[in-house]
Copies of this chain bind each other. A is one copy, B any other.
Amino acid sequence: MTHSGRKPDEGERYKAILETAARLICERGYEGTSMQEIAAACRMTKAGLYHHIQNKEQLLFAIMNYGMDLFEEQVLSRVQDIADPVERLRACMRHNILLVTRGWSKEVIIILHEHATLTGEARAFIDSRKKRYVDFLEEAFSQAAQQGRIRPVDPTIGAFSFLGMVLWVYKWFKPDGRLSDEQIADGMVELLFPPIVAAAVDGQPGVSSLRMVPRAAASGSGSGGSGTEGT
């Protein structure tokens, strides 16, 4: 027994319940899954399950918070201190794609992004946690555009384009498919955040003086002047 009076493995047990419940809800839908079925899948009695979980809506709320915890631990906390906004976005996209493809908690991630079944304060709380991520992305898009590091884009459109690309991956990625998740992450990062090289001779980047070049052509040409290309 720990100081808190909980057995040391109580937390692990709770996580395991959330994982199992998420898998079931993912397969059958929230309405189509009973607490009885969740208890059975956890190899518990219904009474045993209610020892951990108040009711079905509270269970869904717990699953969603667990998903946001995972996301913040594995994505946001790793990238939020990157000073350069484009590098921050690129790293964030890469980590988020790999969370979607590799998470042993894929179902949790999926449920998190499904239309809300939650109501009232619980819904507002999860929405506010999601909104913090949207705000983070908008801020990065806004900074990147202001610094002339990406093409001008409305930060909200940028943020939700990013999210759509990343979160859709769970719908089509196949672990045994032609493309690895690393290749998908690299490809999407290059597609949405192509390297930009300033063409202005004075080296001061600005929206009106930008040129985007393929990375191969850009590497090693600091000033990015034209007329150096081969065929």
The smallest C-beta distance from A90 to any residue of chain B, in angstroms, reads: 15
The smallest C-beta distance from A159 to any residue of chain B, in angstroms, reads: 9
CA distance A163 to B173 in the complex (A): 13
The segment from A47-55, A65-73, A190-198 found at the interface with B is A190-198
CA distance A123 to B213 in the complex (A): 43
Are B216 and A208 touching (Cβ within 8 A)?
yes
Instruction: Report if A11 contacts B (CB, 8 A).
Output: no
CA distance A213 to B230 in the complex (A): 19
Please pick, from B167, B171, B184, B208, the residue contacting A217 in the complex, using a CB distance under 8 A. Answer: B208
Instruction: Report if A120 contacts B (CB, 8 A).
Output: no
Instruction: Report if A58 contacts B (CB, 8 A).
Output: no
Instruction: Report if A161 contacts B (CB, 8 A).
Output: yes
CA distance A110 to B107 in the complex (A): 19
Nearest opposing residue in chain B for A212, CB measure:
B212
The segment from A1-9, A15-23, A24-32, A38-46 found at the interface with B is A24-32
With A30-B29, A160-B172 already in contact, the answer to whether A213 and B214 are too (CB < 8 A) is no
Query: Which chain A residues (145-178) contact chain B, with CB distance < 8 Å?
Result: 151-154, 156-158, 160-161, 163-169, 171-172, 178
Q: Which 6 A-B pairs have the closest CB atoms?
A: A31-B32, A164-B168, A212-B212, A157-B187, A29-B29, A209-B229
23 A–B contacts from the bound complex (CB under 8 Å)? A29-B29, A32-B32, A151-B191, A151-B214, A153-B187, A154-B187, A156-B178, A160-B168, A161-B192, A168-B168, A199-B211, A199-B226, A199-B229, A201-B227, A204-B231, A206-B229, A206-B231, A207-B214, A208-B214, A208-B230, A209-B231, A211-B213, A224-B226
Known: A28-B31, A208-B214. 15 other contacts (CB 8 A): A31-B31, A113-B171, A151-B212, A156-B178, A157-B179, A160-B165, A161-B188, A164-B168, A167-B168, A204-B231, A206-B231, A208-B230, A209-B217, A210-B217, A211-B213
